[in-house]
Amino acid sequence: MFSFTLAVSALAALCIRAATAADVFAHFMVQNAYAYDHSQWKADMLSAKSIGVDAFAMNWMPPDCQGNLGWQEDRIEDAFKAAEEVGFKIVHSFDMSWDNCDKYWNTTYMADVLQKHAGSKATYRWNSNILVTTYGGDRVKEYGALFFADLKAKMFFSGNAISLTPALTSFAEKAQKNAASAAFDMIADFAVIDGYFNWQAWPMYDNVNNTIDADEVFQSAMKKAGKSGPYIMAVSPWQFKDLDNGNNMDAWVAPADWLFKDRLESLVNGEVQPDIIELLTWNDWCESHYLRDLPGNSTSSSDYANMGRLEAYVAGQNHSPWRIMTKYYVEWWKTGKQPEITEDQVVFWYRVHAKDAQCNQGSSHIRNSDLVEDAIFAWALVTKDSRVSMSLGDNTYYDFHADNSGPATGSIPFPKDLGGSEGMRPEFAIMQDGKTAYYGQGSKRITSWCSTKNFNPVVNLIGQGSDNRGHS
């Protein structure tokens, strides 16, 4: 009897943990994993785990949507095997946004895929049910509430019930103007859902970098409706896309200069309390919001990605130092305790040309380009009293103070003169005890002109973990 009671208590604790977990997903674009092998999956998962990510949400297209995309299921099979080995989780995120498919998703195939991995220890569960997310499902006529109800029914009667938590993007967008109305309409139109994933991490209409009002309204509405699934909040460092196809809707930048910091701080400050956060994204090169290292250039690389037109604004635009910020805030959010600062590091990001630069290629107009600031943005963690010094051309010694009490931030505007055709590199230094502890320059020059219009930032690091050591 004693051991049985302990077992029941442990099971109850496990169920409570599953329903209140402060877990972190990273949205993973399977379309960019064609070259992945078992070792590459493990490398990506270990890299994600090192910054506090618990699972990849695997975004994949209908296998017969356009040509032969059946290889996606093979990559996902490989991912499950790798995840089992490294103690990582996988969540299916069915991409239901494609409106021009030869064959769309069907519930029989989706149920078969979910049941195939139901027994895997890498399958992420919510309240013992398999968690299923989507991108879309509310805009393409082949899907909708009845489609979701059929999927849930198939999985229930198979003995592998799901917690359906889709990203219904039309409601997320509407919520930026009227969140209460959007939440009401969504629950009325999609009563079948268990949870909700609010995809809209970025402001759409103005430069408001926090954007948590909609999260609070959606989460409250779902609770009032008695929904048992998780509320997933999206967090993203950036968004820029330019397909250069003459369609204004395919060329935009989100006003996101401080967005990443502000969204993450709203979590640790308790302004918003989602069940799960989802980082957008791990590897979406197309929309410039990747946290992963850039893919290999060689076609023989196990992480090679054929980016085509995207190469013009992704090549050399490293975002890896943003993972330092991610790790810091994720640990804080998960533990409820501000992490101790043990290294001196300054992460800084900037665009490589002025927003009104004359460019030879790229779309003639980038939506929202007037809402971004021509500046360099810096976020610092230091172990002791420090002065972070920033210079760019005629704008010299823009300094801000930092100490070991927590992150400090500063920025420096682009000068009017960006150095002609050659441009100029920003310079950074961490000053401690009257000496330069670390010094570094930006990896790319900032120019007043450009060969291709590019609103994708480059993200750099000085301090420990970089190769830039200062001098006295």
pLDDT digits (tens, 9 = 90+) for 246-259: 887 899 999 999 99
In a domain, 317, yes or no: no
Q: Is the residue at 316 inside a domain? A: no
Distance of alpha carbon 440 from its chain centroid, rounded?
A: 27
CATH number at residue 68: 3.20.20.80
Q: Is the pLDDT of residue 19 over 90?
A: no
Question: What separation in angstroms does the CA of 367 have from each of 128, 204, 241, 242, 356?
Answer: 43, 10, 10, 10, 13
User: Are 242 and 111 within one domain?
Assistant: yes
Query: Domain for residue 339, yes or no?
Result: no
Question: What sign results for the dihedral spanned by CA atoms 45, 296, 318, 440?
Answer: positive
Residue 359 sits in which domain range?
A: 345-463
pLDDT at position 210 is: 63
- With 70 as the cut, is the pLDDT of residue 467 above it? no
Structure tokens at 4: 């049985």
Residue 241 sits in the same domain as residue 364:
no
SS3 of 125, please? strand
Reported as a pLDDT band with limits 50, 70 and 90, residue 468 is low
Of all helices (H) and strands (E), which one includes residue 213?
helix 213-224
Residues 299 and 390 in one domain: no
Whether residues 167 and 243 share a domain: the answer is yes
| Better-scored residue on pLDDT, 67 or 433 | 433
93 lies in the same domain as 151: yes
Give the per-residue pLDDT at 8. Answer: 34
Q: Are residues 234 and 125 in the same domain?
A: yes
Q: What is the CATH number of the domain that holds 431?
A: 2.60.40
Q: Considering the chain, what percentage of its residues have pLDDT values greater than 90?
A: 85
The string of DSSP letters for 262-288 reads HHHHHHHTTS---SEEEES-SS-TTTT
Span 285-308, average pLDDT: 96
Question: Which residue, of 246, 276, 306, is where some domain finishes?
Answer: 306
Q: What is the tens place of the pLDDT at every residue in 382-402?
A: 999 999 999 999 999 999 999
Residues 139, 269 within the same domain: yes
CA proximity to 149, closest of 188, 106, 100, 193: 193
Domain-located, residue 69? yes
Query: pTM of the full predicted structure?
Result: 0.94
Residue 440 lies in a domain: yes
Total length of the chain: 472
Contact (CB, 8 A) for 51 and 20: no
Select from 281, 306, 331 the last residue of a domain. Answer: 306
Within-domain flag for 59 = yes
Q: Is residue 122 part of a domain?
A: yes
Domain boundary among 252, 281, 306: 306
Same domain, 237 and 101: yes
Do 147 and 291 share a structural domain?
A: yes
Asked if the structure places residue 423 within a domain, the reply is yes
Quote the Cα angle for 313-314-318, to 5°: 130
**Number of domains, the chain:** 2
pLDDT (tens digit, 9 = 90+) per residue, 408-436?
Answer: 999 999 999 998 778 999 999 999 999 99
